[in-house]
Chain A
Amino acid sequence: MLEMVVSTLTQGLIYAFIAYGVYITYSILDFPDLTTDGSFPLGAAVTAVLLSKGCDPYLTLAAALLAGALAGFFTGFIHVKLHIRDLLAGIITMTALFSINLQIGGSNLIIPRTTDTIFSAAPTMAVFGGLSLLYRKLIVVCLLALIFKILLDLYFSTKSGLLLRAAGDNANLVTALAQDKGRVKILGLVISNSLIALAGAIVCHEQRSFSATMGTGQVVFGLASVIIGISLFRKLSFVRGTTAVIIGSILYKACISAALSLGLPANLLKLVTAVLFLLVLVFSGRRGEEIIRA
């Protein structure tokens, strides 16, 4: 039982990175970005290949961030410069990424047991070597999620971060401030998708595998986390958006793992994900038109 709680918590914290990304695009920028389903496995594919080539496990995280940034930039570029509608721009990138991911990692890639991951590499072992793998995973993931939460909170308080928040709130104001709102959008998509690719990278470290289909439904997962988080803490204005979405992500993973432990076949996982999302939308009183204003 305890084991299940720990692994659910770990999952929730890993997928919190998707929630961060989706929070930036859907909630702050008001941009329904579907790149997620492609950038998440992209991060995993890049990581899997680098790991199997013997690359430093920590470096793979940076590589995944960069790969995700490129994916986000592409969506932003075709939306802003080629005037493709936001939803379509995301769909185009997502579709293209499916093939790109296959090119990078094949349909499946297993990382051998002998390869070190961020959970078993020497620096991690030096600090947390006394813990079992299960707890080591939790503590490493928890640290990563916290570090990025703090970085994001700091970013939102900078001039650039403030402008990003203004862009989603009232794009017209960005123009009035003599700034290019297209550039602000691209920046938001770059940050969002690099975080989502990082989630894919961490999942790859954790599962020691990559599969081309692992991206399916991730945007739904991210949205559900964000909506659960934001709805729960709507009345408590001192809770930051980033905190709210971490908790949303953990709760959502908890629901899914509860369903699985009650005997739900793993094949029905995405169905449960979708139904749960529907329930969240209905009961939070948000039907998805005005998506989750933070």
Chain B
Amino acid sequence: MLEIKNVTKIFNSGEATEHRLFQDFELSVEDGEFVSVVGGNGSGKTSLLNIICGNLPIERGDVLIDGKSIAKEKDFVRCRRIGRVHQNPAMGTAPNLTVLENLSLANNKGKRFGLSFGINRRRKGFYCEQLADLGLGLEDKLDVKMGALSGGQRQAISLLMASLTPIDFLVLDEHTAALDPKTAEVIMLLTDRLIREKKLTAIMVTHNLRYALEYGSRLIMMDRGTVVLDKKGDEKARLCSDEVFEEFNKMSIRVSDGELN
């Protein structure tokens, strides 16, 4: 279980441009939940992910996994239990290394990177299987440089690499936003399948309200650092797009009001 307790985040603290994004922010995510987070620009969605992953320091509060505080752990230490897929497909893979080399690295995540051989040829069959599972015809591309693949293919492999070893959390940061609609759909289906098959707990930030409605077991809408809508289980299943859109529009109006003042 992931808990965010009493988190306060202030940008440019003490300066004229001081901006208080979170004030005593609370959120908890149960094991096995697949949470979609939606919200306008500046609502704090991505900051939330950065706070969880340790890329953004917080002024006050705590972040806990299974009751243990991780707030003082460095980002790379937290990554032992967290897998993250970014908006930019290039972020999750090394472009000048081959697919096989990338997967071999991911396969060793969290372990020691010593002087034993980096590529275990006997694992090749396993990687091929995993790639074939993606259904994008990548299984014969093991020796191709990652940079030669399309954005969608790279994102699919990023997704696979993030979840190749056991992790507690999968963090998806608008991971379909940079893809064309058809590829985005493929990646979204793939994400859903991986999360179900590997029984992952996941948080997905998205600008796509339809994805947020169709996928996942819980939907959260954020506005200026607070949760304005939080539906899970049957409640979420009953949620129709009109309701969400209406709420989203109200929020947009509030934002433009704010700008007028």
Contacts and interface: CB of A to CB of B under 8 A. Distances in A.
A173 B113 contact: no
Contacts of A162: 97, 101, 104-105, 113, 118-119
A170 B106 contact: no
Contact of B108 (A159, A161, A181, A293): A159
Looking at chain B's contact residues, is the secondary structure mostly helix, strand, loop, or mixed?
loop
Interface in B61-112: 74-77, 79-80, 83-84, 86, 90-97, 101-102, 104-106, 108-110, 112
A163 B113 contact: yes
Interface string A159-177: 1111101100110111111
Interface string A119-161: 0000000000000000000000000000000000001011111
Contacts of A293: 96
Contacts, number: 87
Given A175-B76, A178-B76, A178-B109, A166 B94 contact: yes
A165 B119 CA distance: 14
Contacts of A181: 76
B156 to A, nearest CB: 16
Looking at chain A's contact residues, is the secondary structure mostly helix, strand, loop, or mixed?
helix
Interface residues of A, number: 24
A173 B96 CA distance: 13
A56 interface: no
A176 B95 contact: no
A179 B94 contact: no
Nearest to A162: B118
B93 A177 contact: no
A178 B110 contact: yes
Given A162-B97, A166-B97, A170-B95, A177 B106 contact: yes
8 contacts: A157-B117, A158-B116, A159-B115, A165-B97, A177-B79, A177-B109, A178-B79, A178-B110
